[in-house]
Amino acid sequence: MSESGGVGLEASATILFVIDGIAREAMLFAAIGFLIGGIDDLLVDLAYGIARLRSWLCRDLPRSLTASPMPMALFIPAWDEAAVIAPMLRATLARYGDADYRIYVGTYPNDPATITAVAAVAATDPRVRLVVGPVPGPTTKADCLNALWRALLRDEAAGEPCAAVVLHDAEDLVHPLELAVFAAWLSDHDAVQLPVQPLADARSPLVAGHYLDEFAESHGKNLIVREALGAAIPFAGVGCAIRREMLGRIADSRGGQPFDAASLTEDYELGLTVAALGGRTRFVRARDASGALVAVRAYFPASLPAAVRQKARWLTGIALAGWDRVGWQRGGSIGEHWMRMRDRRATLAIPVLAIAYLGLLAWGASLVGHRLTGAPMPAIEGPMAQLLGCNALLLGWRVAMRVAFTGAAHGPVQAALAVPRVLVANYVALFAARRAIVIYWPTLRGAAARWDKTAHHFPESREDAA
């Protein structure tokens, strides 16, 4: 063999040694991270099973859903929502019927299209109130909600009482019994949260579809576990109602504004604030006469860029800014700390996921290199093999849970699609984490938070809304 050939073999062996080392260490790090996360998820599943068993043994009688005796104010912040706000308002008016309510829609002076759309509906029904904020948009959703709060105070001063405030977004399709459910539970609770059920979007079965899977588990299991543990229930920002007295208490504690204008996830923080003030929140899964869940339905982002943008906002507000804004509730229960840890575990889970994909690439490169050189692949054995086997079982269980909850909420077709959508959810999460850091970093240096919203789509027919 020539000298140059020997040098080439040595170089190849060195490169393979480095690649094998990267693959081995990345796999070990990711496997340990996945094991911790898998055990955490498994404990939530166990807590859910106990909660369901306890609920079955101590079954409460369903509450009567009569016509709402409470005057309620519906708050809808609307920046750049001309495409959806008018049909949403008309659908809401039709579905709510003759209940006692008013709808306040917050707009911005530099968004004439949305103002015109809202004004057209307000001209046909006095229950719709157009509110134009004092500053150009976008600010934050919380800032827009504060403008609606001030409008409500003016109407109360003029003799129009309000017993509860309901939060919705401009793309939401409300359930006809929503206000009745709120009234039934607000009699002895300070706040109520209904489930959110994303609508299946034929245009985007994978990207928009992965929201079906996530909300099926989040609002079919995770919030039930939080409630069973006595932990604070964060609001979803839609389909939630807060008693007027409680919102007033929050406003008094914040200088007259109940919504924190510096927050990108004011809904999440508002739920924790209600609990911190001693308020009682109930997550209610009620059904109508047909058996359908009384829930908020809406289309979610159908493109990857839009999904990444939305998830980045959630990640920034809950996992990053939420860590230093709301903390860990000193003196809170173990369940409370556990749930807040889960809210923020994306800050650790995303790096683990990224390193896992790096490990896969490294193992692929290692396989190619060993095939080309004829060298044997490093064996996976001992504790590493056991660790990977355990993670494989946990992954199988995790996917089975997702399929089960998606199937229960949306049927067998969506349940089957939930399997490939696991990869889509991972992809969105990785890129959302990168964007979240870009969004969060300027706020650490004093930059004001901005409403980084996504374009919305409202159901165009009864079939879409089903």
Q: Is the peptide bond before 69 cis (omega within 30 degrees of 0)?
A: no
pLDDT band at 463 (very low <50, low <70, confident <90, very high): very low
Topology annotation, domain 72-302+455-465: Spore Coat Polysaccharide Biosynthesis Protein SpsA; Chain A (3.90.550)
| Residue keyed to tokens 């609606």 | 148
In contact, 110 and 145? CB cutoff 8 Å: no
pLDDT at 466 over 60: no
Mean pLDDT to the nearest integer, 279-296: 95
Residue 128 β-bridge partners: 103
Cα 48 from Cα 274, distance rounded (Å): 24
What is the DSSP annotation of 376-404?
PPPP--THHHHHHHHHHHHHHHHHHHHHH
Task: Give the tens place of pLDDT for each residue, 109-165.
Answer: 999 999 999 999 999 999 999 999 999 989 889 999 999 999 999 999 999 999 999
The tokens describing 417, both together, are 């699609």
Nearest to 195 by CA among 174, 169, 209: 174
Asked if residue 106 has pLDDT above 60, the reply is yes
Instruction: Give the Cα separation of 433 and 450 in Å (integer).
Output: 17
Domain boundaries, the chain: 3-52+344-444, 72-302+455-465
The string of pLDDT tens digits covering residues 410-450 is 999 999 999 999 999 999 998 888 888 888 777 767 666 66
The gap from C-alpha 208 to its chain's centroid, in whole angstroms, comes to: 13
d(CA 240, CA 297): 13
For residue 254, report the phi and psi dihedrals to the nearest 5 degrees.
-120, 30
| pLDDT tens, residue by residue, 74-90 | 999 999 999 999 999 99
Burial track 304-321 (b if 16+ CB lie within 10 A, e otherwise) = eebbbbbbbbbbbbbbbb
